[in-house]
Amino acid sequence: MTKPLYGAVEAGGTKFVCAAGYAPMEVPEEARAVIATQAPEPTLEGVVGFFEGITRKYGALAGIGIAAFGPVDIDTQSRTWGRILATPKRGWSSVSLVTPLERFGCPIAIDTDVSAAALAEARLGAGAGLGSLAYVTVGTGIGGGVVVADRTLKGLLHPEMGHIRVQRDPRDGGFAGVCPFHGDCLEGLASGPAVMARWHTRVEDLPEPHPAREILGGYLGQLAATLALMVSCERIVFGGGVVTGGRLLPDIRRSASQWLGGYLPIEARAGGFDRYIVPPGLGDLAGVTGALLLAMQAARTGR
């Protein structure tokens, strides 16, 4: 009996990361590829081409997992399951990520990139051993996923926590925000494009000290506090270029602590804010690792 081989796709707004492996941490170097996100057709042709090469070399896939940018239909009961929903990303609205991969004849699972990353962090990364974890990434957009008892949280759709409202920092009062839907929701205020619109530079190139770090950390800390209050997760992972590049974790922790005002037992139960709000344990690999876990799940459940 051959060892089952799994396929993983992290479908992002700027790149698609493809991989194949026998286990989450067992991906041969040559079984990875990065495809720049272009129009849907050439991008998905690239993905199919990658897996055709893989199956020629290693044999059939036992399952494929897709970790997709949102909004995406992840409701397996829905007629539009596997399709990208209305998105400002040109050409991608209602494109199916699943259909082109059906030719490989194996079960396919799809979830959001951030939920998949949350799953990987919960099982193998910063949340190993805990019962629940939230994962937030701050880059071109702000997204988050939640894992409770080894399942990603979903329902009407999937979490879209980047779009919650936050209380404005008085130093930031003049900025209207960049979210096309909401203006000054969290994503409109604290994403990479919001940094660029306001300070005309990337966060990592801001001089030190600069009030931007306190302002951004303040907004993101409100999300952390809201997660703790709404979802009661045991740990929160903050990743993405804006958090990492801006070295925002200390400001996020300070803000979350301030907003919670001692109300939750973060010290007693989580060992303090330094252990409650943490960087990713799997670095940039969380998304594709999560996709591989989804593939294994698909193979197990047959869908």
- Residues lying near its own copies in the complex (CB under 8 A): 85, 131-132, 144, 146, 148-149, 151, 153-161, 163-167, 181-182, 222, 225-234, 259-266, 269-270
Residue 212 Cβ, how far from its own copies at the closest point, in Å? 21
Burial class of residue 302, CB neighbours in 10 A (0-12, 13-18, 19+): exposed
Q: Do the Cβ atoms of 292 and 6 come closer than 8 Å?
A: yes
Q: At 248, phi and psi to the nearest 5?
A: -90, -10
Minimum Å gap between C-beta 166 and its own copies is 8
Q: Please, which residue, 15 or 154, has the CB nearer to its own copies?
A: 154
User: Closest CB to its own copies among 68 and 266?
Assistant: 266
* Shortest spacing between CB 114 and its own copies, in angstroms: 12
CA distance 263 to 13: 38
Q: How many Cβ atoms from other residues are within 10 Å of residue 253's Cβ? A: 24
- Please say whether the beta carbons of 17 and 288 come within 8 A: yes
Output the DSSP codes for 36-66.
E--SHHHHHHHHHHHHHHHHHHH---SEEEE
Provide the minimum distance between the beta carbon of 167 and its own copies in the complex, in angstroms, as a whole number.
6
Q: Given the complex with its own copies, which of 180 and 209 has the nearer CB atom?
A: 180
Going from the C-alpha of 125 to that of each of 16, 17, 99, 117, 131, the distances in angstroms are: 22, 19, 31, 10, 13
CB of 132 to its own copies, least distance (A): 4
Q: Which helix (H) or strand (E) holds 277?
A: strand 277-278
Q: Which two tokens stand for residue 210?
A: 């600069």
CB under 8 Å to 190, separation ≥6 — which residues? 138, 142, 216, 219, 220, 242
Q: How near is the Cβ of 162 to its own copies at its closest, in Å?
A: 8
Tell me whether residue 26 or residue 274 sits nearer to its own copies (CB atom). Answer: 274
Asked if 69 contacts 112 with a C-beta cutoff of 8 angstroms, the reply is yes
Q: How far is the CB of 218 from its own copies (least distance, A)?
A: 12
Is 19 or 147 the residue whose CB approaches its own copies more closely? 147
Tell me whether residue 30 or residue 150 sits nearer to its own copies (CB atom): 150
Between 10 and 160, name the residue whose CB sits nearer to its own copies.
160
